[in-house]
């Protein structure tokens, strides 16, 4: 074999490879235009992007979509699912603090203060760069009150990927059997309905009760229906001057209502219940109402998981006058970019891909209703043509998103330490370890100490 | 061979002196060889144990927060002052004592009783000894997850079995503040009792038979034989077993994290779990390090007391 012949064969192979690569790039769909932007083709070949996510129903469907991004751009993506949320938070925090974390990660927006402190990159420069962010990706397609949850101190730190707003799941068949025409329209009706629905066959109401499953989160959701809303509030139960409001008459009224609902109308052993236990009971017809976030909408509607799938209704109790139209609480999950990432432009392309209209549609089509954030997606997802996405589900989610408290969580790095005493108070109340006034008083004092130590309260 | 220097008696012959020196040299070489062989392992173990300990002690004098990783402010004794004034600490310490004492005492009593039974000689005893040791082979995480599922008040086997047999069933084993700690202790026993049993069984089977036979001849009852012959014979092993179990229960984490989350409320939050919450949930690494140092000191005191009282006749 002559030397020149050998080199002709090498060149031929290289040209063939380029042709194949170009053909693959040309086959990419228009919805993913963000991933093959101005540079076109395998623009990210040789780059590796690491993504961390939790084992949540809305994140796991994104993993197969990533293959498409890889094919289009030539990048290699390591999409790592690191266990359930509780385990994930600790691993993520340690990874970021030790500067060994991922290029991009999924995280709840209430922890934005922590993430900003641990190296989340402000995204304004990416969003305003037309070369890195084509107009077709359309950031304005996201509702403003959702993108606001990704904001901190005038900057944007994440792209929203999933809503997580207030939702009341209820068993329509059990409501009908009890002679109740529809879901409750006020907290008083909620209590009255729970009393009627509480029978030997099923409990009337269920809500998270344990601290380890973040009962403070759903507790705050209900608390919003009692407190007087103020646009200057630093958090759900923090007034504009950072003072905790857990001993006000409204907060005490909430705690008494919560106790009544859980202890009198909740399932047996409620003090040991988290969201998993409540969801299981709803799915088995053992509880009539489940106060939670909309993250469970697809699971309770799935006949493979729930034997009550055809009976589940979706509702949000309308906002009372005291809430001034801000009675729902959301903590959308977002995707964040790590300042230590060596492939930030490539990672930014992946972030756009994962939050693009086509990716959202693909995930929503699998029944993950809470991913329908873009107006262009949510307006068409709940027509009823997909049995996994009934119209009532879309109506409830829309109401929740439209009535969000815009500042439910203060942007403190130690947010969990602030909220935990509230959760412990709720747990103590329903397990009988403390009176309502005693528990709320102790929670108020502990929250005050945390804020004083953080320098926010003097 | 006895050697001595006696007036009027000739000193040891030179050959014997040389033999003694050679023997000493051999022993010294053997010791040096032993030290040299063991040194790598000692260095590794020291690094694994001492380095984190030193770093922890150092961190306990800082205000390091995991959410502000690039700052390491020195705060002196501030964390220890906070430890003393922390309103959660008295409850946490009391619950730790409750858990450690409750688990260790229960495991010793039941473990030794089972060991005595397993020491009997009847057909089928050998496989029974092996089967009984199976819980020792399971790590704490699956133990916690499995027992949490078994104890579920709605769908767990324990509730279903009690209901089927007409026995009273609590509303919630893990959510009832009066039952949560007892339930955790019982779960700990599932692994702890076989551990005590196997150590005690080994000690019982290695006891000489003569004292027991002599006691039988003297007319002692089985209980008297156990109390005055068997128990004192296995006491040194029991002391070691108590120390092991005490350290293990002090360090217990999986049961609290996976079964109760430290609840209901803070009912089952023990010192180790509180240290974890402070360090990883609240991000206060400096204060968490101070709690860890305090825990080590408490464990050292407790272990010392066990050895001191264990040596008494």
Whether the predicted pLDDT of A219 surpasses 90: yes
Total structural domains in chain B?
1
| d(C-alpha A111, C-alpha A409), whole Å | 8
Contacts of A316 (CB under 8 A, 6+ apart): A165, A166, A167, A168, A328, A396, A399, A400, A403
Q: Please write the tens of the pLDDT for every residue from B103-143.
A: 999 999 999 999 998 888 778 888 888 888 888 889 999 99
| d(C-alpha A440, C-alpha A434), whole Å | 9
Chain A CB contacts of B173 below 8 Å: 272
Q: How far is B270 from chain A (nearest CA, A)?
A: 15
| ipTM reported for the complex, 2 dp | 0.81
Please report the pLDDT score of residue A6 as a whole number. Answer: 45
- pLDDT mean over A77-89: 89
% of chain A beyond a pLDDT of 70: 91
Q: Does B3 touch chain A (CB under 8 A)?
A: no
- pLDDT mean over B86-104: 96
8 Å CB contact of A93 and B175: no
Least confident of A31-45, A289-303, B126-140: A31-45
8 Å CB contact of B283 and A213: no
In a domain, B79, yes or no: no
Please report the pLDDT score of residue B192 as a whole number. Answer: 95
Which option is the CATH number for A32-163+332-392: 2.60.120.10, 3.40.190.10, 3.30.1220.10, 1.10.10.10?
A: 3.40.190.10
Please report the pLDDT score of residue A37 as a whole number. Answer: 43
Q: Who has greater pLDDT, A1 or A97?
A: A97
Please report the pLDDT score of residue A30 as a whole number. Answer: 39
Across chain A, mean pLDDT equals 88
Across chain B, mean pLDDT equals 89
pLDDT category at A352 given cuts 50, 70, 90 is: very high
Q: Does B262 touch chain A (CB under 8 A)?
A: yes
Q: Is the preceding omega at residue A224 within 30 degrees of 0, hence cis?
A: no
pLDDT category at A339 given cuts 50, 70, 90 is: very high
Rounded to two decimals, what is the model's pTM? 0.84
Least confident of A60-69, B25-34, B37-46, B51-60: B25-34
> Averaging pLDDT over each range in A104-118, A172-186, A374-388, B204-218, which range is the top one?
A172-186
Give residue ranges of A with CB < 8 Å to any B CB.
90, 93-94, 96-99, 114, 117-118, 209-213, 267-273, 277, 280-281, 286, 413-414, 416-417, 420, 424, 427-428, 431-434
8 Å CB contact of A431 and B264: yes
Please report the pLDDT score of residue B12 as a whole number. Answer: 58
Q: Is the CB of residue A269 less than 8 Å from the CB of residue A206?
A: no
8 Å CB contact of A94 and B280: yes
- pLDDT mean over A284-313: 91
- Which domain, by its residues, includes B275? 89-311
| d(C-alpha B75, C-alpha B58), whole Å | 11
- pLDDT mean over B267-287: 94
8 Å CB contact of A417 and B282: yes
Of B122, B266, B18, residue with least CA distance to A210: B266
8 Å CB contact of A210 and B264: yes
Least confident of A432-446, B11-25, B187-201, B216-230: B11-25
Q: Does B91 touch chain A (CB under 8 A)?
A: no
Chain B CB contacts of A212 below 8 Å: 257, 260-263
- pLDDT mean over A202-230: 95
- pLDDT mean over B172-200: 94
- Looking at the DSSP bridge assignments, the partners of residue A78 are A50
In a domain, B136, yes or no: yes
Query: Considering only alpha carbons, which residue of chain B is nearest residue A445?
Result: B87
CATH number of residue B270's parent domain:
1.10.3720.10
Please report the pLDDT score of residue B70 as a whole number. Answer: 85
> Averaging pLDDT over each range in A40-44, B128-132, B236-240, which range is the top one?
B236-240
Please name the member of B65, B152, B263 whose beta carbon is closest to the beta carbon of A211: B263
Whether the predicted pLDDT of B1 surpasses 80: no
- pLDDT mean over A368-380: 89
Chain A CB contacts of B174 below 8 Å: 272
* Domain A166-329+412-453 of CATH type 3.40.190.10: yes
Please report the pLDDT score of residue A297 as a whole number. Answer: 85
Is residue A298 within a helix (H) or strand (E), and if so which, with residue range? helix A297-300
Please report the pLDDT score of residue B13 as a whole number. Answer: 59
In a domain, B300, yes or no: yes
Whether the predicted pLDDT of A13 surpasses 60: no
Least confident of A38-42, A248-252, A289-293, B130-134: A38-42
Phi-psi region of B61 (alpha: psi -120 to 50; beta: other; left: phi over 0): alpha
Chain A CB contacts of B284 below 8 Å: 414, 417
Q: Please write the tens of the pLDDT for every residue from B62-76.
A: 999 988 888 899 999
Please name the member of A96, A267, A427 whose beta carbon is closest to the beta carbon of B263: A427
Which parts of A136-237 are beta strand (E)? 151-152, 155-156, 159-162, 166-171
Whether the predicted pLDDT of A286 surpasses 80: yes
pLDDT category at B288 given cuts 50, 70, 90 is: very high
pLDDT category at B183 given cuts 50, 70, 90 is: very high
> Which residue, chain included where needed, has tokens 């990927």?
A161
Q: How far is A90 from chain B (nearest CA, A)?
A: 7
Phi-psi region of A180 (alpha: psi -120 to 50; beta: other; left: phi over 0): beta
In a domain, B31, yes or no: no
Please report the pLDDT score of residue B148 as a whole number. Answer: 92
8 Å CB contact of B154 and A267: yes
| d(C-alpha B123, C-alpha B120), whole Å | 10
In a domain, B148, yes or no: yes
Q: Please write the tens of the pLDDT for every residue from A166-205.
A: 999 999 999 999 999 999 999 999 999 999 999 999 999 9
Q: Who has greater pLDDT, B186 or B26?
A: B186
Please report the pLDDT score of residue A366 as a whole number. Answer: 85
What are the residue ranges of CATH 3.40.190.10 in chain A?
32-163+332-392, 166-329+412-453
Chain A interface, best mutation among B67, B149, B152, by max A CB count within 10 A: B67
């Amino acid at each position: 074999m002559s030397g020149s012949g050998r080199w002709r064969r090498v060149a031929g192979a290289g040209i063939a490879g380029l042709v194949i690569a170009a053909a693959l790039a040309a086959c990419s769909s228009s919805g993913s235009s963000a991933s093959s932007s101005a540079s076109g083709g395998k623009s990210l070949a040789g780059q590796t992007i690491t993504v961390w996510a939790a084992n949540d129903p809305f994140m796991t469907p994104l993993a197969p979509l990533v293959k498409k991004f890889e094919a289009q751009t030539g990048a290699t993506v390591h999409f790592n699912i690191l266990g359930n949320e509780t385990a994930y938070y600790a691993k993520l925090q340690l990874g970021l603090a030790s500067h060994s974390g991922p290029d991009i990660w999924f995280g709840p927006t209430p922890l934005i203060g922590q993430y900003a402190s641990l190296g989340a990159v402000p995204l304004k420069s990416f969003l305003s760069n037309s070369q890195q962010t084509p107009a077709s990706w359309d950031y304005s397609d996201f509702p403003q009150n959702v993108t606001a949850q990704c904001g901190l101190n005038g900057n944007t730190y994440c792209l929203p990927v999933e809503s997580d707003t207030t939702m009341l799941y209820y068993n329509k068949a059990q409501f009908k059997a009890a002679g109740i025409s529809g879901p409750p329209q006020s907290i008083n009706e909620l209590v009255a309905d729970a009393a009627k629905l509480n029978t030997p066959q099923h409990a009337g109401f269920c809500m998270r009760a344990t601290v380890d499953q973040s009962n403070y989160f759903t507790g705050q959701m209900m608390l919003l229906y009692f407190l007087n809303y103020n646009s200057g509030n630093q958090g759900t139960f923090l007034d504009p001057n950072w003072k905790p409001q857990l001993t006000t008459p409204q907060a005490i009224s909430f705690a008494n209502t919560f106790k009544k609902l859980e202890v009198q109308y909740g399932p047996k052993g409620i003090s040991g219940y988290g969201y998993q236990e409540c969801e299981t009971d709803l799915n088995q017809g053992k509880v009539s109402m489940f106060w939670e976030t909309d993250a469970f909408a697809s699971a309770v509607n799935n006949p493979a998981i729930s034997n009550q799938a055809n009976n589940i209704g979706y509702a949000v109790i309308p906002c009372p006058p005291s809430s001034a139209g801000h009675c729902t609480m959301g903590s959308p999950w977002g995707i964040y970019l790590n300042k230590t990432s060596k492939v930030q432009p490539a990672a930014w392309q992946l972030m756009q891909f994962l939050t693009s209209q086509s990716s959202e549609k693909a995930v929503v089509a699998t029944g993950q209703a809470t991913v329908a954030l873009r107006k262009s997606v949510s307006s068409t997802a709940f027509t009823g043509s997909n049995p996994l996405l009934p119209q009532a589900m879309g109506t409830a989610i829309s109401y929740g998103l439209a009535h969000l408290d815009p500042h439910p969580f203060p942007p403190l790095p130690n947010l969990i330490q602030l909220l935990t005493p509230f959760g412990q108070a709720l747990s103590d109340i329903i397990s009988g370890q403390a009176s309502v006034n005693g528990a709320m008083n102790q929670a108020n004092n502990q929250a005050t100490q945390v804020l004083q130590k953080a320098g926010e309260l003097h | 061979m006895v050697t001595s220097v006696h007036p009027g008696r000739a000193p040891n012959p030179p050959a014997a002196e040389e033999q003694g020196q050679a023997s000493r040299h051999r022993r010294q070489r053997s010791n040096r060889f032993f030290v040299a062989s063991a040194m790598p392992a000692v260095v590794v173990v020291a690094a694994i144990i001492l380095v984190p300990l030193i770093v922890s002690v150092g961190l306990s004098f800082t205000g390091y927060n995991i959410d502000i990783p690039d700052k390491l402010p020195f705060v002196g004794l501030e964390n220890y002052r906070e430890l003393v004034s922390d309103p959660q600490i008295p409850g946490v310490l009391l619950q730790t004592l409750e858990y450690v004492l409750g688990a260790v005492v229960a495991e010793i009593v039941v473990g030794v009783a089972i060991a005595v039974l397993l020491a009997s000689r009847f057909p089928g005893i050998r496989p029974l000894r092996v089967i009984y040791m199976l819980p020792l082979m399971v790590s704490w995480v699956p133990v916690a997850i499995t027992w949490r599922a078994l104890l579920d008040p709605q769908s767990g086997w324990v509730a279903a079995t009690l209901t089927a047999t007409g026995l009273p069933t609590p509303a919630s084993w893990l959510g009832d503040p009066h039952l949560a700690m007892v339930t955790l202790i019982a779960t700990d026993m599932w692994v702890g009792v076989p551990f005590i049993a196997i150590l005690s069984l080994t000690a019982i089977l290695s006891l000489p038979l003569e004292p027991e036979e002599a006691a039988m001849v003297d007319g002692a009852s089985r209980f008297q034989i156990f109390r005055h012959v068997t128990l004192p014979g296995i006491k040194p092993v029991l002391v070691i077993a108590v120390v092991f179990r005490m350290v293990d229960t002090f360090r217990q984490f999986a049961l609290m994290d996976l079964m109760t989350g430290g609840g209901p409320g803070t009912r089952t939050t023990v010192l180790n779990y509180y240290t974890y919450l402070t360090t990883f949930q609240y991000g206060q690494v400096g204060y968490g390090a101070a709690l860890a140092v305090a825990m080590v000191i408490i464990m050292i005191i407790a272990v010392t007391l066990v050895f001191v009282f264990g040596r008494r006749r």
